[in-house]
Structure 1
């Protein structure tokens, strides 16, 4: 493991690694979006330090818990909508768009990777998305605005218009099963990578934190880009400390220059 705190050296290492990779996989956590003004969940002052998470089983069992979960989701959606993709989001979107990255795996639910231009077929959302809702029984989609209207009209949590089932924001809550198809895609991409770059994640949450390990075991180089220490620093070839957007932006520019 080599820990690099010098910004210029970190930029050089990341640029050269991306330029030489044939099968780059990007993996992102909440630290990527904090540079857009969205607070993370686990750091001091983050969301979970201010309120206890609502467990999936509580959402299913309690109308009170459902309404509180929706209240929190509406607040988060307002923060997401006010935020804009930052330099890191834009740089990663450029790498994906030009085929430099075969996949972008994210733990984030804020929709900023989508808004930065990452196409659906290359984006793997491990923890779902906060940008819409879905029925827990039949998976019928409901827009957030429809959920707002339903609660305002009835005073109760929304129900599916198709089957009457419970509707929940399409994020993976504590105690809820991970999406099997997305996990399978993420595992396949990780094993196929020759360079795996994890950015803005504490790498503590499983099973997502097992993906860099799987990539490393399959022979990929591993670079961790984060402001703070992570649980997997000892496994990485390089750990780059610093602002994620400023470290990634030159890598994106170098790839663009090399493609022209």
Structure 2
């Protein structure tokens, strides 16, 4: 089902009030050519917490920065101990109704692309193709010395062998796969080096304080340029890595629709912000557009 595009963007600078009306979402998707930009909020229904929503991890957890990770061996030990434990839970997460709906919209030709700020791989697990992972993926590990890539499952195996019996109980899980552990729980956790050159291993994700590769940014800008509209799903848009694409779309006169429970930094650029839970909202829109709701979309 295709709907005639009637969304208009007016640069008033005013913040649109939150709404439960799904018409702007259905209208944008019905017109086709939608570029999706997703954030941590789309994965909360899969058991992965977000950073800034109600109860978000930033209220109790300071993420590792690139500068700290590269400069401090104790910081790397702490990071890998927490990340290794977190990976056991993080790696078991499964796509939810929101991820499945995005994949269904793509299969039905309504999307021009998908950009995600998440590092969990759940869009791909749900069936989305060509997903641009703005901040990288926890599935891969890179050596900071020689640049060699390693599957995360291989590193997990090596860390298991090097730290037999390591099984502390974490206080909480964070969106980057980092489990909350005390220094006592980290103990003398053994970090393994690159098997190629003996260098420092880092997850292939963009840490706080690290920049998204310029080529990736340019690719995302091109996707915005080629889209009819931008649909933001579950992102507070607090960091510039995602907000810049909202601004770019708005400056080009492309409608921006946001689905997020809380206000976002990009609200002033949006035609609407829908406050419904993502799984419910996107499944309902799929049904409105005639996409079969068979439980898996």
TM-score norm. by structure 2 comes to: 0.78
Write out per-residue CA displacement over residues 75-113 of structure 1, whole angstroms, 9 at most, x where no aligned residue: 332332332211110010111233311111111111111
Deviation at 1:148, TM superposition (A): 3.0
Write out per-residue CA displacement over residues 128-163 of structure 1, whole angstroms, 9 at most, x where no aligned residue: 111221112333222223323434438532322223
Of 25, 28, 34, the residue aligned with 1:14 is: 25
Of 246, 252, 255, the residue aligned with 2:286 is: 252
Of 192, 207, 210, the residue aligned with 1:176 is: 210
Q: C-alpha root-mean-square deviation of aligned residues, in Å?
A: 2.1
Q: Does 1:198 align with 2:206?
A: no
What does 1:1-260 correspond to in 2, within 5 Å? 2-6=16-20, 9-10=21-22, 12-21=23-32, 23-119=33-129, 122-151=130-159, 152-153=161-162, 156-255=190-289, 257=291
Write out per-residue CA displacement over residues 33-64 of structure 1, whole angstroms, 9 at most, x where no aligned residue: 11212111223532232222221122112221
Write out per-residue CA displacement over residues 225-249 of structure 1, whole angstroms, 9 at most, x where no aligned residue: 1111111112111111111111111
Gapped regions of structure 2 (runs ≥ 5): 1-14, 164-188, 293-297
Tell me if the contact between 1:227 and 1:241 (Cα under 8 Å) persists in the aligned partners: yes
Gapped regions of structure 1 (runs ≥ 5): none
Deviation at 1:255, TM superposition (A): 4.3
Relative to structure 1, is the Cα distance of residues 192 and 212 closer, same or farther in structure 2, using a 3 angstrom cutoff?
A: same
Tell me if the contact between 2:139 and 2:153 (Cα under 8 Å) persists in the aligned partners: no
Number of residue pairs matched? Answer: 252
User: Which position in structure 1 is the counterpart of 2:6?
Assistant: none
Which protein is bigger by CA-based radius of gyration? Answer: 2
Tell me if the contact between 1:224 and 1:236 (Cα under 8 Å) persists in the aligned partners: yes
Tell me if the contact between 1:95 and 1:255 (Cα under 8 Å) persists in the aligned partners: no
TM-score norm. by structure 1 comes to: 0.88
**Higher percent of residues as helix:** 1
